[in-house]
Every structure is written in structure tokens, then in C-alpha cells.
């Protein structure tokens, strides 16, 4: 989130003096203004400034924040495994166990850690507003650093849970089942499901600045949809596939070409080519 002063500045660009309303006091007009939802250009500007702020951060800050995100999101796999193991084998178990998937995302987003799929919208909006070689270079710099850092954190977490006896045998078996279910998707299924996941994450980023006290519930609901719908996310899914590799269930080639390539492309298409472009198009005449 932006500091309060920056948010005030963004909103002031679109402030208009409210017209008097017959039968309504000035104090009531203020109440109406406070309760009104901010217009789309205001939300756009808040997210754009967030992107500018992220692209201006030092590489070391981006790197370690990205590593932290890769580590944190591993708890999506752990929480899912815990619920899967302890819930009865019933038709509704996937609906309940999918709640565990939200754990890692809540940790990452509420801690303001760098997650690659969040950046498919936040840092793209500043580049769309003023397209330039320098802007594209800054975008490529941030994407590459954050993605690599996320993968390092995800790999370390997966290796730890596979080899450090941190998980009970039944939890380890549950985590393996989750990863093997993911790998049953073919290339095209991985890709198209990733488009949906990328769109949902971008929508979550768009909603969070306006959610205030409901931020927790917005993150929970949008990431729950990814899990319960079986959609694919490059960072959360990398923990699952790295865990399979570390456990000897699949090879690096299968992980890279059958999972990572289609899901990475799909998340970028869903978050950038679809949601970010649509978000820019709906406000570009008002900027």
C-alpha cells in the first residue's frame, strides 16, 4: 500500500467540489463523499504508484523480499496437506482442504513480500502509461529478479520439507499427492488454467487498495478460488513440483517443460495481457 500522503495526492487529482444537494446538510455531504467508492482512475493511480515504488527499490531489497515470498508461500502446500490428512475422505474434502492454499498467499501479501504474479499488474501499469525503453528495462529487471528469488525460496522450502524430517510421514505423503495431482495436467491444461490464476491474482491486487479492513477476506477468497478451481500458479505450484523433484518423483526436465513453461506463460497472459490491459483501457481516457 502507498503511504497515506501519496494516496491523498493520487485521489486529489480527481477531486471535484461536491455540488449542494437539496435537503442535505454539508456534514451529510461529507459523509456521502467518505462512503462513496473511489473511482476507477483513483484505484488505477494507487496501483500505478505502487508499481513505481517497487521498480525504484534496490536490487538487494527486491531479491530478499522475493526469497521470503518463495519461502512463505510453501505454507500453502503444508496447510493443504494438513487439512487433507486430517479431514475424512468425503466428497466435500477438496472444498475444505483448498482453504489451506490461502495460507501462503495471506503471509506473502499481508507482509508485502515480492510475489512475481502480483507484479504482472502493479509494475506493468507505469510502463503502459509512459512506454519507453527505460521503463521496459526496469520492468524486465524487476520481473527477472523477483522471479528468480521466488524460485530460490520455493526450492529451498521444498528441499527442507522433503529432507529435513520437518513433516510427519502422513503429511509428506499428503504433500506428494497434491503435487502429483498437479502434474496430471497436460501442457495446454497447465497453460489455460494458469491464465485464469493470473487473472484472479491481478484482480486481487486491484481490489486490495480499496478493501481496507476486508483485505484479509479478499486475499482469502480470491486465492481460494484458484485452489478449488484447480488453476495453476507459478510460485505456489513450483513449491509442489520442487517437492516432487526433491523426493525423486519427477525429474527436473518434466518440472521445467511440463509445468514451469506453460504456467509462467499463462500467468503472464492472465495478469498482464488480459487484466492489466483491460484495467488500463477502462481509464485511459480519464488519465
3-state secondary structure at position 28: helix
> How far is it, in rounded angstroms, from Cα 258 to Cα 187?
6
Q: How confident is the model at residue 118 (pLDDT cuts 50, 70, 90)?
A: confident
In this structure, what DSSP letter does residue 2 have?
Answer: -
Is the pLDDT at 36 greater than 60? The verdict is: no
Q: Please give the pLDDT value at position 11.
A: 46
Q: Compute the distance between CA of residue 140 and CA of residue 124 in angstroms, rounded to an integer.
A: 10
What's the mean per-residue pLDDT of the chain? 84
Tell me what pLDDT residue 91 has: 93
Q: What is the model's pLDDT at position 271?
A: 85
Do you know the residue count of the chain?
287
Q: What confidence tier does 226 reach under pLDDT thresholds 50, 70, 90?
A: very high
* Banded model confidence at residue 285, pLDDT cuts 50, 70, 90: low
| Per-residue confidence band for 25, with pLDDT thresholds at 50, 70 and 90 | low
Q: Tell me what percent of the residues of the chain surpass a pLDDT of 70.
A: 80
Distances 7 to 1, 43, 45, 46, 157 between C-alpha atoms, Å? 9, 9, 9, 6, 36
Question: Is the separation of the CB atoms in 262 and 241 below 8 Å?
Answer: no
Enter the pTM of the model.
0.81
When pLDDT is cut at 50, 70 and 90, the band that residue 14 belongs to is very low
CA gap 52, 108 in Å, rounded? 20
Does residue 1 have a pLDDT over 50?
A: no
pLDDT given for residue 12 in this prediction: 46
HSE-CB for 245 with a 13 A CA cutoff: 21
pLDDT, greater one: 22 or 191: 191
d(CA 252, CA 261): 12
Say whether pLDDT at 20 is over 80.
no
Mean pLDDT, residues 181-186: 97
Dihedral of the alpha carbons of 226, 232, 238, 243, in degrees to the nearest 10: 80
Task: Give the count of beta carbons closer than 10 Å to the beta carbon of residue 110.
Answer: 13
Domains, in order of start, for the chain: 1-36 (no CATH), 40-283 (1.20.1080.10)
Query: Tell me, what's the pLDDT at 248?
Result: 94
Q: Which residue has the higher pLDDT, 119 or 25?
A: 119
Is residue 276 within 8 Å of 128, Cβ to Cβ? Answer: yes
Residue-level pLDDT at 154: 97
CA distance 28 to 78: 50
Residue 13: pLDDT band with limits 50, 70, 90: very low
User: What percent of the chain clears pLDDT 90, i.e. is strictly above it?
Assistant: 57
Where are the alpha helices (H) located in 111-186, listed in sequence order? 119-122, 124-129, 133-163, 169-182
Grid cell at residue 79: 496447510
Amino acid at each position: 500500500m502507498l503511504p497515506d500522503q501519496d494516496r491523498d495526492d493520487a485521489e486529489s487529482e480527481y477531486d471535484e467540489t461536491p455540488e449542494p444537494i437539496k435537503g442535505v446538510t454539508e456534514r451529510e455531504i461529507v459523509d456521502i463523499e467518505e462512503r462513496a467508492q473511489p473511482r476507477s482512475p483513483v484505484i488505477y493511480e494507487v496501483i500505478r504508484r505502487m508499481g513505481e515504488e517497487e521498480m525504484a527499490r534496490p536490487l538487494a531489497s527486491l531479491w530478499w523480499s522475493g526469497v521470503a515470498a518463495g519461502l512463505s508461500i510453501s505454507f500453502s502446500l503444508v496447510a493443504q496437506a494438513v487439512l487433507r490428512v486430517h479431514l475424512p475422505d468425503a466428497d466435500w474434502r477438496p472444498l475444505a482442504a483448498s482453504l489451506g492454499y490461502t495460507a501462503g498467499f495471506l503471509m506473502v501479501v499481508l507482509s508485502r513480500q515480492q510475489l512475481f504474479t502480483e507484479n504482472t499488474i502493479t509494475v506493468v501499469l507505469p510502463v503502459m502509461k509512459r512506454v519507453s525503453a527505460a521503463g521496459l528495462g526496469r520492468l524486465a529487471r524487476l520481473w527477472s529478479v523477483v522471479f528468480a528469488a521466488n524460485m530460490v525460496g520455493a526450492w529451498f522450502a521444498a528441499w527442507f520439507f522433503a529432507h529435513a524430517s520437518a513433516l510427519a510421514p502422513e503429511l509428506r505423503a499428503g504433500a506428494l499427492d497434491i503435487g502429483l495431482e498437479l502434474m496430471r495436467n497436460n501442457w495446454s491444461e497447465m497453460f489455460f488454467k494458469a491464465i485464469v490464476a493470473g487473472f484472479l491474482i491481478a484482480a486481487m491486487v486491484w481490489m486490495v487498495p480499496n478493501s481496507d479492513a476486508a483485505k484479509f477476506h479478499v486475499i482469502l477468497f480470491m486465492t481460494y478460488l484458484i485452489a478449488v478451481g484447480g488453476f495453476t500458479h507459478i510460485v505456489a505450484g513450483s513449491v509442489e513440483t520442487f517437492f516432487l523433484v526433491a523426493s525423486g518423483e519427477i525429474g527436473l526436465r518434466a518440472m521445467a517443460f511440463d509445468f514451469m513453461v506453460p504456467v509462467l506463460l499463462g500467468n503472464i497472459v492472465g495478469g498482464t495481457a488480459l487484466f492489466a490491459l483491460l484495467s488500463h483501457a477502462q481509464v485511459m481516457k480519464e488519465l
